[in-house]
Amino acid sequence: MSLVTDDLRLLHVHAHPDDESSKGAASTAKYVAEGVDVMVATCTGGERGSILNPNMDRPDVLANISEIRRQEMDAAREILGIRQEWLGWVDSGFPEGDPLPPLPEGSFASLKVEDAAAPLVKLIREFRPQVVTTYDENGGYPHPDHVMCHQITVAAFEAAGDPDAYPELGEPYQPLKLYYHHTFHRERMKALNDAMLARGLESPYADRLKDWKPDPDNERRITTRVECSEYFAVRDRALLAHATQIDPEGAWFAVPLEVHQAAWPTEDYELARSLVESELPEDDLFAGLR
């Protein structure tokens, strides 16, 4: 199969507003610059998210967090040059305690997978992406909404092309490749850490790496490294648009841009499912489709 660039469509499925900017945003910007039509599906509104930027931790912000996070998403969307759709589910929050409290009734992670996947099946059939991305089975980190995001994306990837599944949601359409983001993996963190230390700078990753044992099996999951360092600045601007979530003085920006570009110039993915042939390792999410 061969497709011209104008025909290429990429769908990222994320749990909350800001996830599209913290995972895969530079490769998103690269594909947009190449003429790829990129859509982000955001599962929830982030209604139960914490305010992580001390400068925004104010009663007026907390009282209007749902609307503010939508405004932040709009700003990030403009910066990245993407389209974006809300799937309409409610943030589950991050449960804490021992034992863990039950999930809020009606929240995204409390739903049945087949029900929560329905709006995503509809979107896939309408947008018709060749490539879909989401998180791995652990959610990238164990937030219940991230795990559910993985589950509904895998389910929708399979169901969208099945004429017997969700027949009321449009004509069947089968995406061709499914990827998982691998953003916060040890190999990348160590490269950034070593680059900072080599320049006599304090690394934000030193403490985390002390007890983080190498896991060759996990590193081998990465099949696809997309070179996108020239778009790291776009990624950073999109991150900063999520002002309730990103502290400009925090760890997100502790590694200078030029150090990051030199030490780890790619964003990394795992090819989880493919209906086309491509040679591994890849350097393009559309390998086998161009």
- Cα distance between residue 223 and residue 182, in whole Å: 10
Domain assignment present for 195: no
**Total domains present in the chain:** 1
Grouping H, G, I as helix, E, B as strand and the rest as coil, residue 54 is: helix
Domain assignment present for 25: yes
Domain assignment present for 280: no
- pLDDT computed for residue 34 by the predictor: 97
Block residue for tokens 């061709």: 176
Domain assignment present for 82: yes
Domain assignment present for 115: yes
Domain assignment present for 189: no
pLDDT tens string 73-120: 999 999 999 999 999 999 999 988 888 889 999 999 999 999 999 999
- Cα distance between residue 278 and residue 230, in whole Å: 25
Average pLDDT over residues 196-223: 93
pLDDT tens string 147-170: 999 999 999 999 999 999 999 999
Model confidence at 6: pLDDT above 90: no
- Structural domain of residue 152, as residue ranges? 5-184+220-274
- Cα distance between residue 260 and residue 20, in whole Å: 19
- Cα distance between residue 27 and residue 46, in whole Å: 23
Model confidence at 5: pLDDT above 70: no
